[in-house]
Amino acid sequence: MKPLFRGAVAAIVCGVVAASSPCDAQTASDPPLDAAMREEARTHFQRGVALIESERWAEAITELQQAQRIRVTAPVMYNLGLAHRAVGHNLDAMRAFREFQRLAGATAAADVMGRVDGFMRELSAGLGRVRLDVEPTTARVLLDGAPASANGSVEVDPGRHVIVAEAEGFATDARTVEVPRGAAVNVTLRMVPQVLAVRVTVRPTPSSALVRIDGDDVGFGDVEETVRPGTHTLDVTADGHRPFHRSFEAIVGQPQVLRANLASADRSIVESPWFWTGVGVVAVGAGIAAWFLLQDTEPPYQGTLGSVSNAITVGGWR
């Protein structure tokens, strides 16, 4: 059996947990299985083990989950924990290993239980946290589609997570945040009453750019945000590009599209084209104002008709 993901831990096959716990052992709480279902579960389990040995983790998860749906055994849960751990699903791995511990109990080999205890410590240390502060506190909050408290802290896997808040009489608000391993990210949502909400759409280039409005992370790539009327700041950043910063004015009844094309960090300002509509707002469609923010440089001329440069004329926008 070949070495596996960090720690070179092999999959558990039938009979390895304990001599008295074969792969198809059945607990008192399990529904009775006929021979065909038992064989189906065994087939999915064996495929999952083979896929773990080949380090094809996502496929292994699929097969082991199929086995789990038919019958839950300690070997199935141990191997499912290994596969989830390998792809960075810390929470799913911890749930699988906890179920393994419960099922195996005192019958499990001491070295296996010790290994699982080590996994649990490692996985717990790798979790991140999202701390939510949402107003109104009556809002319905979803974190990655699952209900969450409007004011509280939630353990999450490292990576990107989506928070959505909904409340009667308020515009729905959303955030996409990046949570580093072992870190906590604070997310503050001050929901805007529907009658005051101004919809702002930000379309950056490159599409992987992080968008901030008024200093708060709101998402990556194309994002929509609702803000109150007044002056706000837009910041867009991306690796290998110059940061972008502008202020914009939000007006009730005038949705805005803000475009930000970030210049490459290795290009000089004089090499990069720019266009900024300035105080002139271009109507696009039914009452939608478009601001084209292509470069974080000051234009050489700004008048009531917008900006003019050798690269792009006033009539050149689309």
Question: Residue 10: its pLDDT value, please?
Answer: 61
* Backbone φ/ψ region at 230: left (φ over 0), alpha (ψ -120 to 50), beta: left
pTM of the model: 0.67
Single-letter amino acid, residue 288: I
142-150 contacts: CB < 8 A, separation 24 or more?
142/166
What lies within 8 Å, CB to CB, of 86 at 6+ separation is 4, 5, 55, 57
Cα–Cα distance measured from residue 262 to residue 192, given in angstroms and rounded to the nearest whole number: 29
pLDDT of residue 35: 87
Contact 81, 100 (CB under 8 A): yes
CA pair distance 178, 204, nearest whole angstrom: 18
Question: Tens of pLDDT along the chain (318 residues)?
Answer: 333 344 445 676 654 444 333 354 444 445 667 888 999 999 999 999 999 999 999 999 999 999 999 999 999 999 999 999 999 999 999 999 999 999 998 788 888 999 999 999 999 999 999 999 999 999 999 999 999 999 999 999 999 999 999 999 999 999 999 999 999 999 999 999 999 999 999 999 999 999 999 999 999 999 999 999 999 999 999 999 999 999 999 999 999 999 999 998 876 544 444 333 333 333 344 334 443 343 443 333 333 333 222 222 222 222
Q: Taking Cα atoms as reference points, which of 21, 17, 50 lies closest to residue 116? A: 17
Q: How far apart are CA 146 and CA 182, in angstroms?
A: 21
Do 139 and 150 form a contact (C-beta atoms < 8 A)?
Answer: yes
For the chain, domains (ranges, CATH) are 5-125 (1.25.40.10), 127-191 (2.60.40.1120), 196-318 (2.60.40.1120)
**pLDDT at position 158, please?**
92
Residue type (1 letter), 173: D
Question: Reduced to 3 states, what is the DSSP secondary structure of residue 196?
Answer: helix
CB atoms within 10 A of CB 197: 21
Q: Residue 124 corresponds to which tokens in the numbers above?
A: 């717990």
CA–CA distances in Å: residue 163 to residues 144, 147, 149, 154, 232: 6, 10, 11, 11, 22
For residues 318 and 145, give the distance between their C-alpha atoms in angstroms, rounded to a whole number.
37
φ, ψ of residue 315 in degrees (nearest 5)? -85, 5
Looking at residue 12, what is its pLDDT? 66
Structure tokens of 317? Answer: 């926008």
- Which residue intervals of the chain are DSSP H helices? 5-8, 35-53, 57-70, 74-86, 90-104, 110-125
**Residue 82, class by beta-carbon neighbours within 10 Å (0-12 exposed, 13-18 middle, 19+ buried)?**
buried
HSE-up (13 A, CA, CB side) for residue 170: 23
Q: How many angstroms from the chain centroid is the CA of residue 209?
A: 15
Helix, coil or strand: residue 257: strand
pLDDT (0 to 100) of residue 108 = 80
Q: Which two tokens stand for residue 40?
A: 């189906």
Element (H, E) at 18: none
